[in-house]
Chains A and B, each alone.
Chain A
Amino acid sequence: MIPSIPQSRYAKGLYGAYVALFFVYLAAPLVVVGVFAFNNSLFPSMPWEGATLNWFLGDKDPYIGIFHDEALLRSVGTSAFVACWVTVLSISVGTCNAFLFERGKFPGKNLLYMVAISPLVIPGVILGISILVFSNAVANGVENVFGWEWDFLRPGLFLVILGQFAFITTITTLIISARLRKFDITLEEAALNLGATRFDAIRTITIPFLKPALIGAAIVSFLMSFENFNTTLMLVGSDAPLTIAMFDRLKQGSTPVLNALSLLLMVVSGVLALLSVFAQRDRREKGAP
């Protein structure tokens, strides 16, 4: 059970093997996706036709590599654009919420908190259609009453950003609240006592304390937005973000250019992950609590 309790070697070995098998299960699809990015075949499937870099660099039809596949590249740009907006919005609102829920005292706080975490238990597809239906109703209303065409309320990137923001804000709120809860309020009092204004105290003491959580929440929200499919699917217009573009290609059956793209995404997020881990480790050694 735990190392201090003796166990038979057989049981230990069996347990270890199970865990190892689990990690094989975890890794298998990812490894396969990566390996087939180099398969010199028109389809991401067996048999293995020898290695090639065509799916990265190729520019002759049908061997169009990811660096020359403009539709996919544009969708990467669209996703990054959406993800940046969602990150900025959800971090700002999430920070406000964290202060409000951790520090504020007002009637109905518990009820409001329940509503604020409810997007976590609303399936993404439903969040998508409800925002679609509502924004459409608003757009129709505005058009009927004022005769204005509010196109941004029709399916498109604006709605995609709102839809993703609606549930990612819950996550940033939870992450930042958790860190703020650990904040020793006397640090702020000490700052006031040393002559800082309230604003200064928050700017020089509280925000630096929250920094690891802010960075972590930013990475998480960027990734969640970048990878989001369910909510986006319902709200997307003519500019397809990456997940939607890839989904369409997958359904049609695609060349291994998708593998190449996936591998690149994995490498980028892997680097991001390592960076965030190292950033935190460095901080720990410096000794922030």
Chain B
Amino acid sequence: MADQFDLECRDVVKNFGQFTAVDQVSLTIPQGSFFSILGPSGCGKTTLLRMLAGFLEPSGGDILIKGKSVLGVAPNRRPVNMVFQHLALFPMMNVADNVAYGLRRRGVDRATIKSRVSETLARVGLPDAGPKQINQLSGGQKQRIAIARCLVLEPAVLLLDEPLGALDLKLREHMKVELKQLQHEIGTTFVYITHDQSEALVMSDQVAVMNAGRFEQVGTPQELYYRPQTPFVAGFVGESNRWQGRIETIADGRATIRLQSGGVIYAAADQFGMSGQTVGQEVDVFVRPEAISLERQGQGTTNEPGLNHMQGRVENLLFNGAASSVQLKELATGHDMNVALPQTGAFADIRPGDILDLGWKADQTKCFPAVATKAASQTDEAIA
């Protein structure tokens, strides 16, 4: 069974003195998939990756590559290769020598090295780059050479440590697509760590959201976005409006939540095992900005039961093309909200001070049992 997975971690732990950087992480990555580990900085994702590469030895647990434990195997003997955060291309060598480096260390003969190098360069779309110096390459080309340098060794798993972080925004957007395509073509298993949710969501087959050394949730990007399992995931992946409140009643498959700031929000009652016993439970409430529909004041809002309804005064219009949104202050409670604007431009003329009607369906409300204050504050930091 185990050898269906290219990479498997079992209860991996890493302690630095008193500090636990990675806490009982388990994962299985099927062959040929693009797996991302997403988390804020300091969550332990780099530590985990360095353990996979062999630069750190876990304090506990086991790491298996192609079904074999690699504990105690030196980094230069592991069938994994890594694309470093700043790529770590060797500046004293040209492109071809960089790509040939690993083959040379294996003692492959010259002719084979030559053909394998040009083959791999062609595969990443830079067939003529061989004689170039590293500093003659553009950011995107360097990226591809760093990947080629690993691919030429045909690793079981390719580890990528936020390699897009150093690129400017436009190139980063472009490289996201390119990386995904490349992985699709060559079929090597990619393990990609990042703090940028859009990178993780766009490229990955599976994403693990990591926080404070633990995996919060592992799933497809869609699952993470639409069905977050923990308040951290709900807060970290995508934007959310947040409230705190208490479950007042549960009836007709609908929970009524009394907010601390006053006011009421309805939520579907099929979440986190809500039942009669959970009445009175403190909860964190999340609503996506795009789940909320806008109407101008007094225009055709039906007071349909179970539809959340609020009114807000426009504070700021954040115009950003298709991703424009509006910041509002909810009239009854003074709570700050953020609502996506429809892409039709229907609300292009709203001004600060305008009053808007806001509404969303109960099943768009996500709630979770309230977490301890400390964890909650961490979540806030992560969002900030």
Which secondary structure characterizes the binding site on chain A? helix
| A186 at interface, CB cutoff 8 A | yes
Q: Mark B325-360, 1 if CB is under 8 A from A, else 0.
A: 000000000000000000000000000000000000
- A197 at interface, CB cutoff 8 A: yes
Q: From residue B149, how far is it (CB to closest CB) to chain A in Å?
A: 7
Cα of A194 to Cα of B149 in the assembled complex, Å = 8
* Cα–Cα distance between A194 and B120 once the two chains are bound (Å): 15
Contacting residues, chain A, for B134 (C-beta < 8 A)? 287
The docked-state distance in angstroms from the alpha carbon of A209 to that of B89 is 12
- Would you give the 0/1 interface string for B140-159, flagging 1 where the beta carbon is closer than 8 Å to chain A? 00000000011001000000
Give chain B residues whose Cβ lies under 8 Å from the Cβ of A209.
91-92
Q: Which residues in A have their C-beta under 8 angstroms from that of B136?
A: 287
Q: What's the least CB distance linking A103 to chain B, in Å?
A: 15
Q: B102 near A194 (CB under 8 angstroms)? A: yes
Give Cα A211 to B136, complex, Å: 21
Known: A184-B86, A187-B88, A287-B91. A194 touches B105 (CB 8 A): yes
Residue of A nearest to B55 (CB): A189
Q: Which of these binds chain A: B77-85, B235-243, B264-272, B367-375?
A: B77-85
Bound: A113/B101 CA distance, A: 36
Q: Is A9 an interface residue (CB 8 A)?
A: no
Query: B92 contacts which of A192, A193, A196, A208 (Cβ < 8 Å)?
Result: A208
Other-chain residue from B88, B91, B92, B102 in contact with A195 (beta carbon distance below 8 A): B102
Residues of A within 8 A of B53 (CB): 189, 193
Interface membership of B76, Cβ < 8 A: yes
- A137 interface hit (Cβ, 8 Å): no
In the complex formed, the residue of B with least CB distance to A208 is B92
Q: Name the contact of B101 in the complex, choosing from A184, A204, A289 (C-beta under 8 A).
A: A204
Q: Does A190 touch B at the CB level, under 8 Å?
A: yes
B174 at the binding interface (Cβ < 8 Å): no
Check B133 against A190 for contact (C-beta < 8 Å).
Answer: no
Q: CB-defined interface of A253-289 with B at 8 Å, one 1/0 digit per residue?
A: 0000000000000000000000000000000001111
> Is B106 part of the contact surface with A, judged by Cβ < 8 Å?
yes
How far, in whole Å, are A204 and B98 apart by their CA atoms in the complex?
Answer: 11
How far, in Å, is A114 (CB) from chain B's closest CB?
29
Knowing A189-B75, A287-B91, A287-B134, say if A195 contacts B105 (CB, 8 Å). Answer: yes
Q: With A196-B76, A289-B91 in contact, is A186–B105 under 8 Å at CB?
A: no
Expressed in whole angstroms, the minimum distance between the Cβ of A188 and any Cβ of chain B is 9
Cα separation A209 to B135 with both chains bound (whole Å): 15
Interface residues of B in 3-43 (CB under 8 A from A): none
B90 an interface residue at 8 Å Cβ cutoff? yes
* Majority-rule SS of B interface residues: mixed
Most buried by A among B74, B82, B149: B82
Contact check, A186 vs B85: say whether CB atoms are below 8 A apart. Answer: yes
B274 to chain A, nearest CB (A): 48
Give complex CA distance A288, B76 in Å. Answer: 25
Q: Would A196 and B105 count as touching, CB distance under 8 A?
A: yes
Interface presence of A202 (CB below 8 A): no
Please give me the residue from chain A that is nearest to B107 by CB atom: A195
Pair A190/B91 contact, Cβ less than 8 Å = no
- B135 near A287 with CB under 8 A, answer yes
State whether A189 and B135 are in contact (beta carbons under 8 Å apart), knowing that A195-B102, A196-B105 are contacts in the complex. Answer: no
Q: For residue A190, which residues in chain B have a CB less than 8 angstroms away from its CB?
A: 82, 84, 88-90
Contact yes or no, B86 A194, CB < 8 A: no
A191 at the interface (CB under 8 A from B): yes
Which residue in B77, B91, B101 is a CB contact (below 8 Å) of A191?
Answer: B101
Bound: A227/B91 CA distance, A? 36
Which residues in A have their C-beta under 8 angstroms from that of B149?
Answer: 194
CB pair A189–B88 under 8 Å, yes or no, is yes
Q: Is the CB of A194 within 8 A of B84?
A: no
Residue of A nearest to B100 (CB): A194
* Residue numbers in B under 8 Å from A184 (CB-CB): 86, 88
Cβ 8 A contact of B133, one of A193, A200, A208, A286: A286
CA distance A187 to B136 in the complex (A): 18
Residues of chain B touching chain A, judged by Cβ–Cβ distance below 8 Å, are: 53-55, 74-77, 80-82, 84-86, 88-92, 101-102, 105-106, 133-136, 149-150, 153
Cβ-closest 4 pairs across A and B: A287-B135, A194-B102, A190-B88, A195-B105
A-B contact pairs, 27 of them (CB 8 A): A184-B88, A186-B84, A186-B86, A189-B75, A189-B88, A190-B84, A190-B88, A192-B55, A193-B54, A193-B76, A193-B81, A193-B82, A194-B76, A194-B153, A195-B105, A195-B106, A195-B153, A196-B101, A196-B105, A197-B105, A205-B90, A286-B135, A287-B91, A287-B134, A287-B135, A287-B136, A288-B92
